[in-house]
Every structure is written in C-alpha cells, then in structure tokens.
Amino acid sequence: MRYKIKHSYTLIEILAVLAIAGILLGMALPAFEKLTKSNRVDAASTAIGSAISLARAQAIGNRRYVAEVIPATTANGNADLQPYIYKGYRLCFVNHTGNNYVFDAWLPD
C-alpha cells in the first residue's frame, strides 16, 4: 500500500509570509500615495488649462472679456458663490472699467 503524503504549511510559515507581505506593503504605500497625489495635481492643472482655453474661445467668439473664477473656501456671504465652493472653476463675463474688471454674468454651463 502506498500512503499519500500531505504537504501543508505550518502556522509559522504562514505568519512569516504575512509578515514579509506586510513589510513590503508598508514600504510601497508611501510611494503609491505620492504617485496618486502627483496624478491629482496633473489632472487639476490639465483642467485649469482646458478652462483657460475655453475662456479664450468664449472671449473671442462673444467679443467680450471672460474670466475664470476659482472660488475660495468660503463664500463670505455671497449667495451666488455658495453653490460653487469646493466645486472647481466657473467662467463668467466681465466688464473692463478703468483698471478693474467687474462681474457681469455667468457663462452658460
């Protein structure tokens, strides 16, 4: 009669593998976090660049001044800005008066 020999892992071997995997993950996590932050910065800069191109096209097409408004973290009591806090940018028409540019109207979305 032949006996089948079962090959199995001991608890110590499994714990050793988990410890090594944990160490490797701990070393890789900061690099992965840095990579994702870098990607977010690249995506944000691309979005702002696209908005600037769109603003230029709108200004040329409408023959008016166009501004890109990037809202602050608070609306400071301005009800018009409240919906856009933390939402990115918005384009608007502005009038040039002397040395200032004065808000006129939002561009349609």
Residues 52-65 have pLDDT tens digits of: 899 999 999 999 99
CA distance 105 to 90: 11
Given a cut of 90, is residue 47 above it in pLDDT?
no
pLDDT digits (tens, 9 = 90+) for 75-90: 566 666 666 555 677 8
- Would you state the pLDDT for residue 78? 65
Confidence of residue 48 (pLDDT cuts 50, 70, 90): confident
Q: 83 is written with which tokens?
A: 């919906």
| Non-local CB neighbours of 5 within 8 Å, separated by 6+ positions | none
- Would you state the pLDDT for residue 73? 60
Write down the pTM of the prediction.
Answer: 0.54
Confidence of residue 43 (pLDDT cuts 50, 70, 90): confident
- Mean pLDDT over 91-108 rounds to 88
- Cα end-to-end distance, the chain, whole Å: 81
- Mean pLDDT over 6-22 rounds to 90
- Would you state the pLDDT for residue 41? 76
Sheet architecture: strand order including 65-69: 65-69, 90-97, 100-106
